[in-house]
A and B are shown apart, each in its own frame.
Chain A
Amino acid sequence: RQVTVQRKEKDFQGMLEYHKEDEVLLIRNLVTDLKPQMLSGTVPCLPAYILYMCIRHADYTSDDLKVHSLLTSTINGIKKVLKKHNDDFEMTSFWLSNTCRLLHCLKQYSGDEGFMTQNTAKQNEHCLKNFDLTEYRQVLSDLSIQIYQQLIKIAEGLLQPMIVSAMLENESIQGLSGVKPMGYRKRSSSMEGGENSYCLEAIIRQMNSFHTVMCDQGLDPEIILQVFKQLFYMINAVTLNNLLLRKDVCSWSTGMQLRYNISQLEEWLRGRNLQQSGAVETMEPLIQAAQLLQLKKKTQEDAEAICSLCTSLSTQQIVKILNLYTPLNEFEERVTVSFIRTIQAQLQERSDPQQLLLDFKHMFPVLFPFNPSSLTMDSIHIPACLNLEFLNEV
């Protein structure tokens, strides 16, 4: 795997030349038929660098048709792979990393001074000489957005079936099962384990897997942060929506378990150095719902405490949770109608959204900040396993 194509060290200027008729083979071997595993142990985003070196040679020879053709075939090749692997997280993440890296290369080596501030003198020698590829950068940026959306869709599809049981039904706090609301003990089969039951550990395992894949593939750290913010938002929305519709989980004990689960997720973010992602902030409505379940709900002071605490929940959501709240035992009282009226009166000034449930399919807009690479083109080795021996190093 480590065998490299022979090259003359002193002559290599970081460009790759190929015959026009080999473009099909290049795209097949480097894009459509490539398995990300083949490149483990090599520089992350190697296909992007190879493609840039090919573009650079076509630019060097002022062959605009070759640049057009290569970029078009590359983009169509990537789209073809994504269509074929539309449920494959690893493949989608791999092409997101590479598409973004190619986009960064086209900026870093554009000759535009704004993108060259971190370049070494050697890297400046590797800039494009003849063509301005601004319009192709826009196409690659649009493609990156499409790939990001596919990646989120795949990740959400894997996480979603776990959320309700892991966040609301599974009991990991010892002794808590004895304090479930009356009449709801051993209520549903999903609470007793079985095929559709997951614990929080399953969610964390899955997120570990996503994180490891994206890091190994050299996906930009800023994009990884945005992926987890999006996924945490979805966990928040699905969990809160279920809480708002299910009496059996609106209890003190679920509030306690939920708060514990959220703290585990926060701990996971810290452990992976993802706390600046804004992921925890997206969980705020759920954090407040968990606290609402645990607060006292009797006196005027209790009502004031609830109103000052639950700023990320709408009045409608607070009232719904209070209405659904189920006492633990015969010693705990239901929330009284007058208490709910007190809350409503205190919150009447708020301009809340009208809908009760959160839009769990909502997507935050994604940003791809420019991330230049410190790598120099002439240091890149092409592994023999890529079967690209028809590329001549120039």
Chain B
Amino acid sequence: SSQRPRPRVLLKAPTLAEMEEMNTSEEEESP
């Protein structure tokens, strides 16, 4: 029916450790 909510799209997330790794490498790259 039109009342039924649309299925939501799963947003993939990195793990906390992966996020930290990305963050560290970004910091290293920037002067």
Contact = CB atoms under 8 A, between A and B. Distances in A.
Contact of A67 (B5, B11, B15, B22): B11
Nearest to A72: B19
A238 to B, nearest CB: 31
Nearest to A110: B8
B19 to A, nearest CB: 6
Contacts of A138: 13, 15
A139 interface: yes
Contact of A136 (B6, B11, B20): B11
Contacts, number: 53
A131 interface: yes
A132 B8 contact: yes
B16 A130 contact: no
Interface string A114-145: 00000000000000111111111011001100
A387 interface: no
A129 B9 CA distance: 9
A330 to B, nearest CB: 64
Interface size range on B against A: 10 to 19
Contact of A75 (B6, B9, B19): B19
A6 interface: no
Contact of A128 (B8, B12, B16, B20): B8
A79 B13 contact: no
Contact of B10 (A71, A111, A135): A135
Interface in A29-85: 64, 67-68, 71-72, 75-76, 79
B18 to A, nearest CB: 9
Nearest to A134: B10
Contacts of A131: 8-11
21 contacts: A64-B9, A64-B11, A71-B13, A72-B14, A75-B16, A76-B20, A79-B23, A129-B5, A130-B6, A130-B8, A132-B8, A133-B11, A133-B13, A134-B10, A135-B13, A138-B15, A139-B13, A139-B15, A139-B16, A139-B19, A143-B16
Interface of B: 5-6, 8-16, 19-20, 22-23
